[in-house]
Amino acid sequence: MTTPDTILSVSGLDVHLGESHVLQGVSFEVRSGGVTALLGRNGVGKTTTLRGLLGLVQRRGEILLEGRDISRLHTHEVVRLGVGYVPENRDVFAGLTVQENLRLAERPGGPHHYDLVYELFPRLRERLRQRAGTMSGGEQQMLALARALLNDNRLLLIDEPSQGLAPHLVTHLADALTRVATLVTVVLVEQNLNLVRRLARDAVILDQGRVVWTGDVGRLLNDDERTRDYLGVGVAR
Ligand SMILES: Nc1ncnc2c1ncn2[C@@H]1O[C@H](COP(=O)(O)OP(=O)(O)OP(=O)(O)O)[C@@H](O)[C@H]1O
What is the tens place of the pLDDT at every residue in 61-83? Answer: 999 999 999 999 999 999 999 99
Domain assignment of residue 26, yes or no: no
CA–centroid distance, 47 to ligand 1, in Å, is: 7
So what's the pLDDT on residue 236? 55
Q: How many domains does the chain have?
A: 1
Half-sphere exposure of 71 (CA within 13 A, CB side): 17
**Domain with 37 in it:** 32-57+82-231
Domain assignment of residue 17, yes or no: no
So what's the pLDDT on residue 224? 86
Domain assignment of residue 137, yes or no: yes
Q: What is the CATH number of the domain that holds 140?
A: 3.40.50.300
Domain assignment of residue 13, yes or no: no
Domain assignment of residue 4, yes or no: no
Residue 226 — very low, low, confident or very high, per pLDDT cuts 50/70/90?
A: confident
DSSP assigned state of 108: T
Residues with CB under 6 A from ligand 1: 17-18, 20, 22, 40, 42-48
Return the best residue to mutate from 46, 59, 205, 233 for the ligand 1 pocket (most ligand atoms within 8 A of CB): 46
CA–centroid distance, 85 to ligand 1, in Å, is: 17
Return the best residue to mutate from 15, 22, 187 for the ligand 1 pocket (most ligand atoms within 8 A of CB): 22
Domain assignment of residue 7, yes or no: no
Rounded to an integer, what distance in angstroms lies between the CA atom of residue 186 and that of residue 184? Answer: 6
Domain assignment of residue 216, yes or no: yes
Tell me the per-residue pLDDT of 138-176, one tens digit each, with 9 for 90 and over: 889 899 999 999 999 999 999 999 988 888 888 888 999
CA–centroid distance, 26 to ligand 1, in Å, is: 15
Rounded to an integer, what distance in angstroms lies between the CA atom of residue 8 and that of residue 70? Answer: 10
Return the best residue to mutate from 15, 41, 48 for the ligand 1 pocket (most ligand atoms within 8 A of CB): 48
Tell me the torsion sign for CA atoms 188, 193, 199, 203: positive
